[in-house]
Amino acid sequence: MKYLILSIIGCLYASFAFSQNYENILNYNNNTNPVNGVKIKTNLPFAPASGAPTITITGYNYGAQEPINLTLVYYIWWTPPSTYFFYASKVSSSGSYTPSILLSNEGGKVVIFINDKGYFQRFTVSVYSQGQSEVPSWFEGWTAVDEALTGANTIEVPYRNRFKGEVFMPGNGLWTPNGNVGIGTLDPKERLSVNGKIRAQEIKVETANWPDYVFTKDYQLPSLSETEDHIKEKGHLPGIPSAEEVKTNGVDLGEMNAKLLKKIEELTLYLIEIKKDHDLEKRDNLEQKKIIHQQQKDIKYLKSKLK
């Protein structure tokens, strides 16, 4: 008799422990496209201290050919009833289906709305909830219908996924624990290392020490003879890396753009100086011509008088 009682107590304890996991509360299937989306009507009360459920939705979205594996959590904060609200809600996906998911209060019950019109969709809903006076009736009688959302206190649940350690990607790619990403390489040295071609509509590079200082009065513009001597000796412009350096170390786009702009600004100053010299020479030539012309007139006049 003693062993029988202990066995009954053990069974009841096991049943109680298991009752916190509510498997396959709702099984949903649809062979068309929903008009509004999928509204999951639960019997979870929209009230504070009514549990912090972990809701899993797993299945198959045939229309998009994507596995469904969603985990949804939320809590309802207790403030005056008029201001009850969903708190700390999050959803994560370990599948490839990430629809917009909303939570709402309809008639004092929590509604989960999948804002998607997926064709030929199937999924099952399970819940784990324990520790805040949950009762089995909260996890019974759930339904899924194609209806518009009409409740209050509605929020869209933000997605959050987090990876830890090394994350390997197809095509010989790696996301390292320190945040470096390698595409086509398993040894990224920078925040992004790409072994291959990159195509982009726009690339913005931030750089400091932009070379407008070239146009200041204090800047010492190298002479052309100094630049010529450097080219003869080094085989490249002053301040510009050599072909061997570029082959070994690559090019910093921001730094190189600044260096190239510096050379353009220096060339502009050279051209301005050349133009000034040219204008001065032209003006001197014009003055010389005027003098010669006047001298010729004077000589002609003197000759006429001598006759």
Are 258 and 134 within one domain? no
Strand partners, 183: 194
Give the pLDDT score at 5.
47
Tell me the residue ranges of DSSP E strands in 170-243: 173-175, 181-183, 192-194
Last residue of a domain, one of 177, 199, 221: 199
- Indicate if the pLDDT at residue 4 is higher than 50: no
Task: Indicate if 222 and 301 belong to the same structural domain.
Answer: yes
- Name beta bridge partners: 40: 112, 144
Last residue of a domain, one of 156, 191, 213: 156
Q: Indicate whether 30 and 93 sit together in one domain.
A: yes
- What pLDDT sits at residue 72? 98
> Within this chain, do residues 112 and 176 fall inside the same structural domain, yes or no?
no
| 191 lies in the same domain as 244 | no
Phi and psi for 17 in degrees, rounded to 5? -65, -45
Return the structure tokens found at 237.
């412009």
Q: Ramachandran region of residue 281, left (φ > 0), alpha (ψ -120 to 50) or beta?
A: alpha
212 inside domain: yes
Structure tokens at 172: 């010989």
* pLDDT band, residue 12 (cuts 50/70/90): very low
Helices (H) and strands (E) in the chain, counts: 4, 14
Total domain count, the chain:
3
Query: What mean pLDDT, rounded, does the chain reach?
Result: 88
Q: Is residue 7 part of a domain?
A: no
User: Of 123, 156, 189, which one is at a domain's C-terminal end?
Assistant: 156
Q: Residues 61, 130: one domain?
A: yes
Q: Specify the residue for token string 């800047």.
A: 219
Q: 28: Cβ–Cβ under 8 A, 6 or more apart, which residues?
A: 38, 40, 59, 121, 122, 123, 124, 125, 144
74 pLDDT more than 50: yes
Q: Compute the 3-state secondary structure of the chain and give helix, strand, coil in percent, each to the nearest 5.
A: 35, 30, 40
Same domain, 124 and 167: no
Same domain flag for 39 and 125 = yes
Range of the domain at 298: 205-307
In the predicted structure, residue 11 carries a pLDDT above the cut 80: no
80 backbone dihedrals φ, ψ, rounded to 5°: -50, 145
